Structure 1
Amino acid sequence: MQITSTTTPQVLVPGTNAGNATAVDGTSLGLNGENAATATPVTPTPTSAAPLRRGLSNWDQPLQNDISGAQQALDFLEQSAAQLRNLKTDLSARLANRQRADGALEARVRQFSNSWRNRSSASGGTLDAQLKFSTSGSNTSFTIRGFNLANLRNGGREVVALSVGGGQNVRSVVLEPGLSDEQIAARFDEALAPAGIRVRLNDDGQLEFSTAEGQWANVRDTISVQGGGIRFPTGQLNRVKAEALPAEVDPDHWQVTDFEGIRTTLAQVVQSLSKVEQAIASVHQALARASARVQSAVAAAASSSGMEQMAQNFVTNTKQPGYQSLLSIMAALAGISRERVRSLLSLR
């Protein structure tokens, strides 16, 4: 048997026709079989070809999403922090020199305001208005008039009906004497969770409601309540007012038309910069936790169970007709030389 030695396999990336197919260096597709066997590190070359689904990407897609979301949030926050530092410098200089604002300063405030208005999309939906980071999506936190714990603790037993979105989607919460604040929050949370609303005790010990940012407008305009005449009126469901919590950064209200406005805006910019820097530290912590999970995943990959998983993934891929199967086989065969085969056969 004769095996022709090859150094780097060439693979055709499928195009619309044979003429459009592109020859790609096998290593750019992760085809590093020889190097993998000899534990020699290889850095894949980025390519537009369909990536080989193997390794960590097969095991922990949520982990990859967490890392990607954290990096996107950091990019947005660090750019925002840089803008705020520049704005702080300009505002301070105007006050020190007793110079009135001009078009350039107003334009810089407007530029930051426009950038901050795109917070949700620019951060990949990972940062809410309170600068809380979450890879599950940004939320709007709000309060509901009449739903304060002082009011909810007092009085006898009462069944409170809640409706969100209108129609027949009504949820009930039983309030009774002796409930703790945590129990009250838990009962509202359980009742409203199916409607996409979560309830918790905030740092001030008060009820805080939250919903997906994209759902906020509907929740705000359609939430209704009906009680038994103790804490809430009887009869039909009555619309209640829901108010979003103030945003941590609110550049739309910054004014630089006079010295007093510049002074006030400077204080708000300094405060906003501090909150953005705190958010950056928080996201860095989330990224560090994700990195720790990466290390655990890599360690698991080196275990026998990890190798079994990789073998099973290979078997599954090669049974599927098409380009994915070709990539899996080429990855396994890449870099196998005549000398390597001879040395293995000599062990028989």
Structure 2
Amino acid sequence: MQITSATTPQVIVPGANAGNATAVDGTALGLNGENAATATPVTPTPNSAAPLRRGLNNWDQPLQGDISGAQQALDFLEQSAAQLRNLKADLSARLANRQRADGTVEARVRQFSNSWRNRATASGGTLDSQLKFSNKGSATSFTVRGMSLANLRNGGREVLAISIGGGQNVRSVVLEPGLSDAQIAQRFDEALAPAGVRAQLNDDGQLAFSTTEAQWSNVRDTIAVQGNGIRFPTGQLNRVKAEAAAPEVDPDSWNTVDLDGIRTTLQQVVQALAKVEASIASVHQALAQVAARVQSAAPSTGKNGMEQVAQNFVTTTKQPGYQSLLSITSALAGISRERVISLLSLR
């Protein structure tokens, strides 16, 4: 008789029929958390034949990413709001008392300016220069010279060839009389999306483009258009100018040299604070939506089933041996400090 050694313990999945029980890797069972807390089979509740699911390992990973991204955005925005409130108070005091410059206001401006320049990193790439929150990454909004709706609506049928990034990466947009503004935006969006550029109508009803902040410099320096001589010249691709939308907050333009400059800066600080607080409200709304998704994604387990799981876990862990260790380590698998903080933030 030949005896072979097993390097990994084998266990029987709870709930399997004796006739077709399946042996699985005990370590893998601990990692996926499926009925890991029980050493004995768990009888399914009458309403569900599916195995009991529990533990953080069963959470949707995108949900956890959304929570983490929103928390980073909130941290940055709340820090920015606090800095702006302090700066507002100092500017108001300077104007009210006509104090001579002592460096305090200037230091506050530098502090906020440094924080704002670090916006993309500090927010985990979830806040753009317009303070719009997105877990898909911050973007740069821009316009392209000659691609205004007023220009694109006029004229006969024309095929525009648009190149982004140079080389053979050329996309076509067909313009023809009778298209609505929404249809024009949709055609640009469908054509340019593979190149990482999106098009839509902005809040003012104008055609606006956007791309990731990381790709913006490449788009700005390489976008070129060729037409049929109606809206754009024919012949070869011609470079067109792309201009980024002005940021919602521009601390580099704040002036604290004289009283007039301080008054103007105070107005800009008040406006910036209002925009930051509005962004905070939008992120809180996004977090509430994520919380709703968490609730809907959470597995429903009957009360009797959970009581049985808890009792089996207690019984198993009281008995010394490998099975006790397996139950404890399986229950703790996948739990990290970051996950616990993300969960507590939903309360």
Alignment of 1:195-274 (within 5 A): 195-274=195-274
What residue identity is the alignment partner of 1:331? S
Residue in structure 1 matched with residue 185 of structure 2 by the alignment: 185
Shift of 1:98: 1.3
**CA separation in 2, counterparts of 1:191 and 1:69?**
30
Cα pair distance change 1:333/1:238, threshold 3 Å:
closer
Name the counterpart of 1:114.
Answer: 114
Compute the displacement of 1:292 (Å): 0.8
1:140 aligns with 2:123: no
Deviation digits for residues 274-299 of structure 1 (CA, Å, limit 9, x no counterpart)? 0000000000000000011111122x
Partner letter of residue 160 of structure 2? V
Query: What is the SS of the residue equivalent to 2:107?
Result: helix
Match of 1:49 in 2: none
SS in 1 for 2:203: coil
Paired residues in the alignment total 268
The 8 Å contact of residues 140 and 210 in structure 1, kept in 2 or not, is answered as yes
Q: Given the alignment of the two structures, is residue 293 of structure 1 paired with residue 293 of structure 2, yes or no?
A: yes
State whether residues 33 and 333 of structure 1, in contact with CA within 8 Å, keep that contact through their aligned partners in structure 2.
no
CA distance in 2, matches of 1:78, 1:279: 10
After TM superposition, the structure 1 = structure 2 runs for residues 1-348 of structure 1, keeping only pairs within 5 Å, are: 33=37, 55-298=55-298, 300-302=299-301, 330-331=329-330
SS of equivalent residue, structure 1 residue 184? helix
Change (3 A) 1:104 1:58: same
Q: Once the 2 structures are TM-superposed, how far is the Cα of residue 57 of structure 1 from its aligned partner?
A: 3.8
Contact 1:57 1:64 survives alignment (8 Å): no
Alpha-carbon distance in 2 for matches of 1:203, 1:260 = 32
Distance in 1, Cα, partners of 2:253 & 2:77: 20
Cα distance in 2 between the residues matched to 1:264 and 1:246:
18
Instruction: Assess, with a 3 A threshold, how the Cα gap between structure 1 residues 328 and 233 changes in structure 2: closer, same or farther.
Output: farther
**Could you tell me whether the CA contact under 8 Å between 1:56 and 1:297 is conserved in 2?**
no
Deviation at 1:104, TM superposition (A): 2.1
Q: Which amino acid aligns with 1:285?
A: Q
The answer to whether the Cα contact below 8 Å between 1:165 and 1:219 also exists between their aligned partners in 2 is yes
The Cα shift of 1:108 comes to 1.2
- What TM-score does the superposition give when structure 2 sets the normalisation length? 0.73
SS of 1:302's equivalent in the other structure is coil
- What TM-score does the superposition give when structure 1 sets the normalisation length? 0.72
Q: What is the DSSP-based 3-state SS (H/G/I as helix, E as strand, rest coil) of the residue aligned with 2:100?
A: coil
Consecutive unaligned residues of structure 2, counting only runs of 5 or more, are: 1-32, 42-52, 307-324, 334-347
CA contact (8 A) 2:142 2:245 kept: yes
- Separation in 2, partners of 1:63, 1:182: 32
**Distance of aligned partners of 1:252 and 1:328 in 2 relative to their CA distance in 1, 3 Å threshold:** farther
Cα deviation digits, residues 64-113 of structure 1 (max 9, x gap): 11111011100100010000000000000000111233322111101110
Looking at structure 1, the residues matched to 261 and 220 of structure 2 have their Cα atoms a distance apart, in angstroms, of 32
Let me know the Cα RMSD of the aligned residues.
2.7
Question: Does the Cα contact within 8 Å between 2:37 and 2:327 map onto a contact in 1?
Answer: no
* Residues 58/97 of structure 1: CA separation in 2 closer, same or farther (3 Å cut): same
Letter in 2 for 1:242: A
